[in-house]
């Protein structure tokens, strides 16, 4: 029994991994292929696995969404996004609300749905999907002008909490028939979510900064536990738990911490696995034979979202914020629906509310259409609107970006009495592979030619090939917090193992190359090299 289960899981993962490789070639998000793998295994598929338990699907997908939300925040590069954060947050909050309102009105008056059903389907589909947007941007290396990439990344990464809140509100209205004070409930949920997100972020950041607080290598496990604790505590306090874990991820992802590369790598891989799981479950839940009946309904709602609600919302919100009409149109087109909308539909179906239409399959088809059509044409439309930065790299807007470079500049001070003082550049025996590029002297800078004569006090800028540390070598940051045992001591006085070296002291905005007499102060950040 166990071997059959393990065999099935391994086959699913392998098929999904292979499909992801294929998706990059055809420029279609791999998430679509993950769905088809689930459908292949499902009731109407080849293996005909019967699965229609929306309660267990809700639990699986909701847990997956916790870490997907955290990873969305953790991967957002705040430095790149900060100039555009007001626009992005307006889209992820007011924009989601306006999209739901416009779609509700269209569904009610044009499609003759009841007001309650119109609001539910509109709330479920009000947010855009971060995984789909990130996948399209990265697979096409699509960096967009005027900060559009950052706006889309922050919006899609942070708008699920608002859509979830609207979905829960719609379910509550349909279940009890009482609206209560919806505005107050929304404000309380958002406020508690924000507060708890920042509280957990500050607390976990402080613990990570303490010396020997955690055993080496357990940083990732610690953060994994913190994410789950943040979600559960916020949820029990009546706050928006998805918002809290997003804030937690955003804060930690843009903080200095040890093992950040390992943490990024772990959560990226975990999120990929969870996305495979979620889309496989979604595909498994679907019944292709039941879909034709939902196609006209789905096409109508997809058309309303794509050509009425999202464009109208984008223009109303972004034009007053000095965005061009071209940028508004592109942001409107890039509003891809995906996993989060389908998960919210599963939540609604599992609540047991009675509906006059098949909500799950409608949202499934709308998301599929959105990813396939809008995703496929996002790159051509971006170029048609002349909003593509052809020479830029979209990965720079993510925290997992590492810019590859084949050279680096090094500054060397020519001190009084140095053997280099008084010599021509061509006479100096530089390290192998090094090239003199510039001489900085008394506020002036000029090219270092072979005939240039070096003087004491010069700063000589060398171009040198970089060194890439091996697997067992790393550079880590050490925060010298208040009462740290290194504070107030010189480098020479520190008891550091022979395979370690402090290579830089960051003090406010100053970067200091230390020697034995350098005094370590509270608030310093030390770059510590650890060899084999």
Query: What is the C-alpha to C-alpha distance for residues 210 and 206, in angstroms, rounded to an integer?
Result: 7
Confidence of residue 72 (pLDDT cuts 50, 70, 90): confident
Average per-residue pLDDT for the chain: 82
Query: What is the C-alpha to C-alpha distance for residues 129 and 153, in angstroms, rounded to an integer?
Result: 10
Residue 94 included in any domain: yes
Highest mean pLDDT among 14-18, 286-290, 309-313: 309-313
Q: Please, are residues 468 and 404 in contact by the beta-carbon 8 Å criterion?
A: no
- What pLDDT sits at residue 479? 79
Enclosing domain of residue 495: 474-530
Residues in the chain: 532
Of residues 401 and 165, more confidence is placed in: 165
- What pLDDT sits at residue 439? 86
Q: Please, are residues 139 and 24 in contact by the beta-carbon 8 Å criterion?
A: yes
| CATH code of the domain in which 95 resides | 1.20.1530.20
Q: pLDDT tens digits, residue range 9-38?
A: 677 677 666 666 665 555 556 667 777 777
Query: How far does Cα 49 stand from its chain's mean position?
Result: 34
Confidence of residue 402 (pLDDT cuts 50, 70, 90): very low
Highest mean pLDDT among 35-44, 118-127, 163-172, 435-444: 118-127
* Two tokens, residue 231: 């979600």
- Of 352, 372, 397, which marks where a domain is finished? 397
Residue 36 included in any domain: no
Lowest mean pLDDT among 5-19, 124-138, 262-276, 330-344: 5-19
- Of 446, 464, 482, which marks where a domain is finished? 464
Q: pLDDT tens digits, residue range 270-283?
A: 887 888 888 888 88
Residue 2 included in any domain: no
Residue 379 and residue 272 share a domain: yes
pLDDT of 404 over the 70 cut: no
- What pLDDT sits at residue 405? 47
Residue 31 included in any domain: no
Residue 327 and residue 433 share a domain: no
Identify the residue whose tokens are 């697997």. 471
Residue 154 included in any domain: yes
Residue 200 included in any domain: yes
> Of all helices (H) and strands (E), which one includes residue 188?
helix 182-209
Could you tell me which residues come within 8 angstroms of residue 177 by beta carbon, excluding any fewer than 6 positions away?
A: none
| CATH code of the domain in which 418 resides | 3.30.70.1450
DSSP state of 159: S
Residue 447 included in any domain: yes
Percent of the chain whose pLDDT exceeds 70: 85
Residue 370 and residue 291 share a domain: yes
Q: pLDDT tens digits, residue range 440-478?
A: 888 788 788 888 888 888 888 888 776 655 545 667 778
Of residues 292 and 38, more confidence is placed in: 292
Residue 519 included in any domain: yes
Residue 443 and residue 355 share a domain: no
pLDDT of 398 over the 60 cut: no
- What pLDDT sits at residue 482? 74
Cα 186 to Cα 6, 111, 238: the distances in Å are 43, 28, 10
Query: What is the C-alpha to C-alpha distance for residues 199 and 203, in angstroms, rounded to an integer?
Result: 6
pLDDT of 424 over the 90 cut: no
pLDDT of 384 over the 50 cut: yes
Residue 413 and residue 393 share a domain: no
Lowest mean pLDDT among 2-11, 90-99, 161-170: 2-11
Could you tell me which residues come within 8 angstroms of residue 439 by beta carbon, excluding any fewer than 6 positions away?
A: 445, 446, 447, 448, 452, 454, 458, 459, 460, 461
Confidence of residue 95 (pLDDT cuts 50, 70, 90): very high
- What pLDDT sits at residue 471? 47
Residue 374 and residue 267 share a domain: yes
Lowest mean pLDDT among 215-219, 273-277, 344-348: 215-219
Mean per-residue pLDDT, 366-376: 87
Tally of domains within the chain = 3
- What pLDDT sits at residue 1? 59
- Of 397, 416, 444, which marks where a domain is finished? 397
pLDDT of 328 over the 90 cut: yes
Confidence of residue 121 (pLDDT cuts 50, 70, 90): very high
Percent of the chain whose pLDDT exceeds 90: 24
Of residues 495 and 440, more confidence is placed in: 440
Residue 478 and residue 355 share a domain: no
pTM for the full predicted model: 0.70
- What pLDDT sits at residue 258? 65
Residue 455 and residue 428 share a domain: yes
Residue 354 and residue 413 share a domain: no
Residue 176 and residue 262 share a domain: yes
Residue 327 and residue 419 share a domain: no
Residue 491 and residue 347 share a domain: no
Of residues 292 and 475, more confidence is placed in: 292
- What pLDDT sits at residue 105? 96
Identify the residue whose tokens are 């847990």. 63
Cα 302 to Cα 105, 251, 283, 285: the distances in Å are 14, 35, 19, 21
Mean per-residue pLDDT, 238-243: 90
- What pLDDT sits at residue 487? 87
pLDDT of 123 over the 90 cut: yes
Plot region of 177 (φ>0 → left; ψ -120 to 50 → alpha; else → beta): left
């Amino acid at each position: 029994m166990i071997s059959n289960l393990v065999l099935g899981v391994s086959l699913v993962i392998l098929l999904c991994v292979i499909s992801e490789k294929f998706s990059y070639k055809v420029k279609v998000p791999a998430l679509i292929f993950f769905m088809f793998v689930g459908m292949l295994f499902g009731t109407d598929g080849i293996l005909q696995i019967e699965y229609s338990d929306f309660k267990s699907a809700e639990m699986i997908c909701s847990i997956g969404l916790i870490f997907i939300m955290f990873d969305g925040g953790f991967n957002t590069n705040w430095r790149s996004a900060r100039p555009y954060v007001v626009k992005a947050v307006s889209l992820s909050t007011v924009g989601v609300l306006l999209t739901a309102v416009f779609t509700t009105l269209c569904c009610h008056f044009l499609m003759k749905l009841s007001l309650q059903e119109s609001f539910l389907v509109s709330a479920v589909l009000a947010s855009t999907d971060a995984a789909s947007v990130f996948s399209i941007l990265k697979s096409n290396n699509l960096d967009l002008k005027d900060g559009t990439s950052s706006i889309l990344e922050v919006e899609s990464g942070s708008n699920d909490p608002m859509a979830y809140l609207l979905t829960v509100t719609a379910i509550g209205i349909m279940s009890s028939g009482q609206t209560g004070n919806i505005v107050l409930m929304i404000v309380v949920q958002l406020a508690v979510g924000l507060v708890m997100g920042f509280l957990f972020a500050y607390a976990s950041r402080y613990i990570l900064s303490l010396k020997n607080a955690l055993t080496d290598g357990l940083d990732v496990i610690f953060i994994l536990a913190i994410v789950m604790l943040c979600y559960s505590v916020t949820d029990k306090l009546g706050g928006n738990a998805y918002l809290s874990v997003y804030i937690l991820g955003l804060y930690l992802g843009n903080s200095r911490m040890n093992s950040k590369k390992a943490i990024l790598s772990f959560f990226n891989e975990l999120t990929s696995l969870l996305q495979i799981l979620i889309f496989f479950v979604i595909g498994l839940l679907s019944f292709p034979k039941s879909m034709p009946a939902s196609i006209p309904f789905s096409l109508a709602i997809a058309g309303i979202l794509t050509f009425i609600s999202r464009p109208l919302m984008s223009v109303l919100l972004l034009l007053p914020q000095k965005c061009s009409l071209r940028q508004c149109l592109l942001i409107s087109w890039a509003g891809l629906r995906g996993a989060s909308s389908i998960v919210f539909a599963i939540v609604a179906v599992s609540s047991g509310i009675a509906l006059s239409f098949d909500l799950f399959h409608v949202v499934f088809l709308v998301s599929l259409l959105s990813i396939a059509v809008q995703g496929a044409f996002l790159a051509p439309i971006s170029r048609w609107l002349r909003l593509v930065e052809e020479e830029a790299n979209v990965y720079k807007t993510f925290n997992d970006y590492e810019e590859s470079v084949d050279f680096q500049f090094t500054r060397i001070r020519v001190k009084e009495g140095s053997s280099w003082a008084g010599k021509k550049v061509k006479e100096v025996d530089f390290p192998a592979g090094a090239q003199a590029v510039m001489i900085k002297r008394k506020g002036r800078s000029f090219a270092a030619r072979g005939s240039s004569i070096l003087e004491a006090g010069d700063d000589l800028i060398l171009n040198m090939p970089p060194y890439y540390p091996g697997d067992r070598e790393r550079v880590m940051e050490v925060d010298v917090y208040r009462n740290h045992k290194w504070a107030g001591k010189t480098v020479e006085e520190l008891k550091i193992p022979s395979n370690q070296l402090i290579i830089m002291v960051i003090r406010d905005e100053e970067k200091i190359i230390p020697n034995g007499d350098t005094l370590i102060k509270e608030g310093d950040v030390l770059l510590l090299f650890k060899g084999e």
